[in-house]
Amino acid sequence: MRTVLRSATREVVIGGDEPFCIIGERINPTGRKTFQEQLRRGDLSRVEVDVAQQVAGGAMVLDVNMGAPLADEVELMRRAVRLVQGVTDLPLCIDSSVVEALEAGLDAYEGKALVNSVTAEEDRLEAVLPLVKRHEAAVIMLPNDETEIPEEPRRRLELVERLVDVATGRFGIGVEDIVIDPLAMPVGADTTLVNRTLETIHLVHERFGLNMTLGASNVSFGMPDRAGIGSAFIPMAMALGLTSAIMDARAADLVRSVKAADLLLDHDPWGARWIAAHRARQEREQQAPG
């Protein structure tokens, strides 16, 4: 399956035969007090730094979330999308729980965006999927509904099936434009949770061959040495069929683990990118003082 995303001038493909798609998570006020205050004042100056750092780190798509408490999320999303598209040619992932913010982001966006996200709740499907269709976007879909976030991977698989049926049958969205989020939970809350995520990835991959993405940072939440956990988790999930993650693209350890897994899964012909990245790192180290 190939999910094609586009900015005005650049195309990025998410797929099982492609390098893993690193979606930069950083443009998001959650847990960032200073950034939240800036957004309440309508100050988007921080966003340019976030873009630059993520591009330097290896992001291939950038998530944009403007959900700060008491801020005008709709207006901020419109402005942020324009601002980010003015400074990078990476495609964007328009991220909000507010339908009007998704709509404002999609209206402002030039290209084919990824919408983050919609659950299997009926009213959400009815509100979000027409937007996705009208803007010819791709969409991240979560297998939880009104009644539950299912623990059992097989129940999640049933919801995935329903999501695919509704998106393709009722709304005419192409199956290649569906990206499933298999629901990554903190291992620190319950050490059985990640097994369920991995099993869900395996089932969705075997059964539907759909592209998948998830919030990789969730997994290590609350634990020490988060980079160590994330650097193991992403390759594990990739081995089972995960094709993308919303992650900290500024974290060199994490990005290196993605690139190593790309090499091992034969998504880096001749290892050329792995070797080039190693050389670039060596050159930077030689140039660095001390």
Q: What residues from 116 to 155 belong to the interface with its own copies (CB under 8 A)? A: none
Binding mask 225-264 for its own copies (x = CB under 8 A): x--xx-xxx-xxxxxx---------------xx-xxx-xx
- In a 13 Å sphere around the CA of 156, the CA atoms on its Cβ side amount to 25
- Say whether residue 221 binds its own copies (CB under 8 A): no
Rounded least distance, CB 208 to its own copies, Å: 18
How many residues touch its own copies under the rule CB under 8 A: the total is 39
56 versus 276: smaller Cβ distance to its own copies: 276
141 versus 247: smaller Cβ distance to its own copies: 247
Q: In one letter, which amino acid is 236?
A: M
CB 77 within 8 A of CB 42: no
Q: How far from chain centre, in Å, is Cα 221?
A: 17
Binding mask 257-286 for its own copies (x = CB under 8 A): x-xxx-xxxx-xxxx--xx--xx-------
Which residues, in sequence order, are CB contacts of 69 under 8 Å at separation 6+? Answer: 36
108 versus 184: smaller Cβ distance to its own copies: 184
Segment (H or E) for 208: helix 193-208
Residue 103: Cβ-neighbour burial (10 angstroms; 0-12, 13-18, 19+) = buried
26 versus 259: smaller Cβ distance to its own copies: 259
Q: What residues from 59 to 118 belong to the interface with its own copies (CB under 8 A)? A: none
Q: What residues from 180 to 219 belong to the interface with its own copies (CB under 8 A)? A: 187-188, 191-192, 194-195, 198, 219
Return the number of other C-beta atoms located less than 10 Å from residue 289's C-beta.
Answer: 3
3-state DSSP assignment of residue 245: strand
7 versus 257: smaller Cβ distance to its own copies: 257
- How far, in Å, CA of 252 to CA of 227, rounded? 9
**Residue owning tokens 């659950």:** 119
Q: Which residues bind its own copies (CB under 8 A)?
A: 187-188, 191-192, 194-195, 198, 219, 223-225, 228-229, 231-233, 235-240, 256-257, 259-261, 263-266, 268-271, 274-275, 278-279
